[in-house]
Chain A
């Protein structure tokens, strides 16, 4: 299942590891988009608990079925994002 969560404020991409390995994308509206697939509900609950622990303000949560073909696209997207974020860090 594919998830997209929006939280308030700009979060550094380095949090990805502590946030279910989701992509971290800073949006113009001063929000951060967390997106990617999670294996099951347990993983989602874990992620929500971590959001609670960090006191992040959750603005929205959307889910969509991740079809087979999209998986590969996801990967491509994520690697390009990774490249981008690493550029940012530099």
Chain B
């Protein structure tokens, strides 16, 4: 819950001033010009709400960890809170508040802006437009037709050999079956690469628009799955469409930009497992790092290389005649071809140069006679002959990898966008190596060679303008929310502080979309001297890198650890340097003026040291968790919990909090004691900017709340977490654990259908996303639900799935649980002998229990119950009460109490039973537990019936408790009567309220007033008692019972007992 400020400052339109309301009372008025009054008031408060015409804020005065007290603004919308620094009291004007309120309102959707940035630009998903001067080279086009004969075709030649043009021409003839992807440097991240590839496949029409959804969700996640998992999901989806599809050719252009090893590995895997209907054509300037030799040997590879791409004389002549008129002579063409060696870029350059020349013959003579590199003609022969405006435009926009009118306008600082568009179109018509990427002629790309030549000219003639141009580009992309482009240009501008600031703003979002490694690469590109100033960014990036490895292999973890350690080492070096410097500084001057500064520095220094230490502990924690080393985890508890409450920032809190959660919840099977801390952290993080932290804390909260028996809280927090996750695509993988907590609550409320639906979703997604731990857990919970629903085939199916999982994955955790699940199944089947045999094999040790023993214990007791070994059950429960009846695990304690109640009642230890029941009801009634009773079956029903009907004055149950017990008995009755699970009564989410209402409602229901006796009879009827039962229980004659029953039917207007009961329920008499 966000705090609600005491004061509210609201703009009054009529009065043109701000009105201050304190607790709803109008207290003061501020005119915007009256600074003094405003500042005086501001100095006296620490928080207020601000409502200006431009937007609303909550404003708080906060103490910074580095010292100083500052105002901060918070703005919440769509479940997300943003925070802005406002400054000191002296400088906080109303105008500043208005300005911030407006900016925050404008920035309402930065997440979407990033999502847009993550979308694959449509220009990259279609072949570029064909150039004006085009030669259709049939021999090569038919060679490409042969691509369908092998899974992979490679087009290998360095720049300027016409690879892209050939592929575009071929794609133009096969539009229906081609998926196209042009790569660029930013694709050096597995997430970007595969998302782009999936986008390309989606575009080609052969697949549904939702194609690859699972893989995209797996990729764009803060904790991406392993590449083989993702690609397997993708391949399975491709495979499933195979039968009814025409072959599809996926063309990936410019594969040479890929340097990331993980992508090559993924691509190898993908190509090795390509379904038969899919063919891939890769174009690259260098032989890609793929197992080409093996594929060549198996005949799975078609290669087209520079030799074949060479323009022959006929082709060259055809080409040149389109560029030049009058055409060249055969001899001239022959000489050009020999000079350029059929290199189309060279022919193109020669043609451009010739276009401008009067004295063709002389030029040709010089051109073909010289050794000069063809690229050098760009500068002298082509650029120098262009009008200055065109030349400058080309030189300036060469810093861009993608051109469109808006960015060109920004970079050239031109007053008009239209001029840029016209310039682009003119350049394309003039064949100046500008390739249009879409039919609308909106975005373009300069041919790389030409661009390189332009850059060389730019660096030689105007070196000073290079950083300026990049900075303009960075600013443009920043305003567009295209963060990756903005950051790379800022880095190229050597404008490191802008780059670092941009990274600081977006690091979390990049990480959320599976791009932690990309941001780490950029952060490492920052020079060492900035390591001190941006130490927090470096460490936060390391933290994000580490959180990505939870579900990956040991090798991947190692790789990430190394990267994280690289970042950490930089910060350590910077800190060391600073310490040395400060020491010498202090000894040199003993000035007092710097004291405050020094203090702030010391605090910051300590914080960074702390975070460094925490990162190291985090790595140890990840390793221990990954290897299921519970001993190690137990031993780490102290060092992890030491770090709690040490750091204000939400994302840093999640590290010790997550560690502590694992240790308590998973290792020690506790969790209730986490609740107060989680509640207070939740309050803090929901005001912060980290959605991840907010969701994670709620996830832990929901699970810990179930452990502490607080079903209502668990339900509420679980719902909020699910809502938050729904809004953030990238967080889909966090959903499963929240759904488990919700399913556990629904189970206890006997809302079995809901619980089953939730768990089916859990196992479905966990299977698709290979979240194995979650998968096992989901099935384990599902078995309980199906058994409660008495759907034995479904329970058996779930049990079978767990068995398979244990066999296949050799799980660290589940093997211990499996026999217990098996025993539950035997019990449900009535195979008492097998279950009994199992109980004999379960040993409960004196020391700490392994997790699965806590699951086995209640099942052992249930087997005893089935065998009527009540006394032994009492003894066993009694001897382990210290393990089971602990405040740290109320969930378990409730189960323990419920079973104790049964065992004691059945052993006629009524006093003890009553005492236990009092505790049990106190825990379960307010939270509306049903299942913990129903699961014990008939023996529990008898115990409850006895409690309800006991007659001594002191033992009378409180009315609300009596109503609760009646309700429980009614639930038993329904279970017994009707095997169809849909009519099993479920508690509402607010059972405590409704039971309270029921208790008092008896005398208030209009038209129906029941005597006390009639109420008792009704309650027993609802509990399934026969007339005989009622007579015995109430010690009255059978005839009297009949009379009461018939009166009841009359008053309720019912014709049968069943109808009477449902009528009574409808009137809240039960």
Contact = CB atoms under 8 A, between A and B. Distances in A.
Given A18-B455, A52-B256, A32 B285 contact: no
Contacts of B286: 52
Contact of A54 (B375, B379, B460): B375
A55 interface: yes
B374 interface: yes
Contact of B376 (A12, A17, A18, A31): A12
Interface string A38-58: 000000000000001111100
Interface string B338-349: 000001010000
Contacts of A52: 158-159, 256, 285-286
A9 B456 contact: no
Given A53-B159, A53-B452, A54-B449, A9 B460 contact: no
A10 B372 contact: yes
> Which DSSP category, helix, strand, loop or mixed, fits chain A's interface?
mixed
Contacts of A31: 371
Given A52-B286, A55-B159, A55-B160, A17 B372 contact: no
A30 B456 CA distance: 21
A80 interface: no
B348 to A, nearest CB: 13
B457 interface: yes
B329 interface: no
Contacts of A56: 373
B161 to A, nearest CB: 8
Contacts of B343: 55
Contacts of A12: 372-373, 376, 379
Interface in B352-391: 370-376, 379
Contacts of B452: 18, 53-54
Contact of B456 (A10, A18, A26): A18
Contacts of B373: 9-12, 32, 56
Nearest to B161: A55
Nearest to A26: B371
Interface residues of A, number: 17
Contacts of B106: none
A54 B448 CA distance: 8
A26 B371 CA distance: 9
Contact of A17 (B160, B449, B456): B456
B185 to A, nearest CB: 11
A79 interface: no
Nearest to A30: B371
Contacts of A26: 371
A22 to B, nearest CB: 13
A22 B371 CA distance: 20
Q: Which of B285, B343, B371, B459 has the most CB of A within 10 A?
A: B371
Interface in A6-26: 9-12, 14-15, 17-18, 26
B463 interface: yes
Contacts of B375: 11, 54
Given A17-B459, A18-B459, A53 B285 contact: yes
Contacts of A17: 456, 459-460, 463
Contacts of A53: 159, 285, 448-449, 452
Interface residues of B, number: 26
Q: Which of A14, A26, A32, A54 has the most CB of B within 10 A?
A: A54
Interface string B441-465: 0000000110010011101100100
B456 A15 contact: yes
B455 A9 contact: no
A76 to B, nearest CB: 23
A17 B462 CA distance: 12
A10 B370 contact: yes
Contact of B449 (A15, A18, A30, A55): A55
Nearest to A54: B452
A30 to B, nearest CB: 4
Contacts of B463: 17
Contacts of B158: 52, 55
A55 B376 CA distance: 13
Contacts of B285: 52-53, 55
A60 to B, nearest CB: 17
A59 B412 CA distance: 39
A81 to B, nearest CB: 16
B371 A10 contact: yes
Given A17-B463, A54-B449, A11 B376 contact: yes
B366 to A, nearest CB: 13
A73 to B, nearest CB: 26
A13 B373 CA distance: 11
A52 to B, nearest CB: 6
A32 B374 CA distance: 13
A52 B255 CA distance: 13
A28 B371 CA distance: 9
B449 A14 contact: no
A63 B376 CA distance: 27
A39 to B, nearest CB: 15
Interface string B132-163: 00000000000000000000000000111100
A26 B370 CA distance: 12
Nearest to A51: B158
B448 to A, nearest CB: 6
B379 A14 contact: yes
Interface of B: 158-161, 256, 285-286, 343, 345, 370-376, 379, 448-449, 452, 455-457, 459-460, 463
23 contacts: A9-B373, A10-B370, A10-B372, A10-B373, A11-B375, A11-B376, A12-B379, A14-B456, A14-B457, A18-B452, A18-B456, A52-B159, A52-B256, A52-B285, A52-B286, A53-B159, A53-B449, A53-B452, A54-B375, A54-B449, A55-B159, A55-B285, A55-B345
3 tightest A-B contacts by CB? A30-B371, A9-B373, A55-B158
Given A11-B373, A18-B459, A53-B448, 12 more contacts: A10-B376, A14-B456, A14-B457, A14-B460, A17-B456, A18-B455, A18-B456, A52-B159, A52-B285, A53-B159, A54-B449, A55-B158
Interface of A: 9-12, 14-15, 17-18, 26, 30-32, 52-56
